[in-house]
């Protein structure tokens, strides 16, 4: 009974090497699929050229069908370009109407903070530093006077 529980726990726990092996397997399958697709595509091109070189093949009809196919493809590409331009216009609108005001607000906040820090530096920090330096000078002067008095008493 305990052995069976241990086995089920061991199979339920994902090992750290599991996801990496799975991703390697998946990438290998994708690579194999791409290679097979290229081989099939090349085989179709070779077969098409071979069949078009036969004397009994109606090349004119195939040419006409190919021209129609290319016109259809041009229409699809034109539609895709229109969609791309519309999406680009929406992005520009978003940048101008939403992101730019946020950046302007951030710039204003930073300049306000800069002014606040300069005010605090001039009106709070500098006087405290000056006071501390004066107090340190006075303390040192008192120490020197006490040391000189102490030597006179000892002599």
| Residue 7 domain-assigned (yes or no) | yes
**pTM higher than 0.75:** no
In a domain, 43, yes or no: yes
64 within domain boundaries? no
Is 146 inside any structural domain? no
Cα angle for residues 49, 53, 57 (degrees, 5° grid): 105
List the domain range (segments joined by +) for residue 17. Answer: 1-56
DSSP the chain: -HHHHHHHHHHHSPPTTHHHHHHHHHHHHHHHHHHHHHHHHHHHHHHHHHHHTSTTS-HHHHHHHHHHHHHHHHHHHHHHHHHHHHHHHHHHHHIIIIIHHHHHHHHHHHHHHHHHHHHHIIIIIHHHHHHHHHHHHHHHHHHHHHHHHHHHHH-
- pLDDT the model gives residue 62: 79
pLDDT per residue of the chain (155 residues) written in tens, 0 to 9:
445 444 444 455 455 555 678 888 888 999 999 999 999 999 998 988 888 788 887 878 878 888 998 999 999 999 999 999 999 999 999 888 888 888 889 999 999 999 998 888 888 888 888 999 999 999 998 988 887 666 555 54
- Residue 40 falls inside a structural domain: yes
Domains in the chain, number:
1
Other CB atoms within 10 Å distance of the CB of residue 42: 10
Is residue 47 a part of any domain in this protein? Answer: yes
CA dihedral (103, 106, 112, 115) positive or negative: negative
For residue 36, tell me if it sits in a domain. yes
- pLDDT of amino acid 98: 87
Q: How far is CA 134 from the centre of its chain?
A: 53
Residue 99, domain member (yes or no): no
């Amino acid at each position: 009974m305990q052995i069976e529980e241990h086995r089920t726990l061991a199979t339920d726990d994902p090992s750290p090497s599991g996801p990496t092996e799975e991703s390697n397997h998946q990438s290998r399958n994708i690579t194999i699929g791409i290679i097979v697709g290229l081989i099939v595509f090349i085989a179709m091109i070779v077969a098409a050229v071979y069949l078009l070189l036969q004397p009994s093949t109606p090349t004119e009809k195939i040419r006409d069908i190919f021209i129609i196919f290319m016109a259809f493809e041009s229409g699809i590409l034109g539609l895709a370009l229109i969609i791309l331009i519309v999406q680009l216009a929406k992005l520009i609108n978003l940048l101008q109407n939403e992101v730019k005001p946020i950046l302007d607000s951030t710039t204003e906040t930073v300049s306000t903070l800069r002014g606040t820090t300069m005010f605090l530096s001039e009106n709070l920090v500098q006087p405290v530093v000056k006071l501390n330096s004066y107090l340190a000078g006075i303390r040192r002067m008192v120490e020197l006077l006490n040391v000189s008095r102490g030597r006179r008493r000892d002599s």
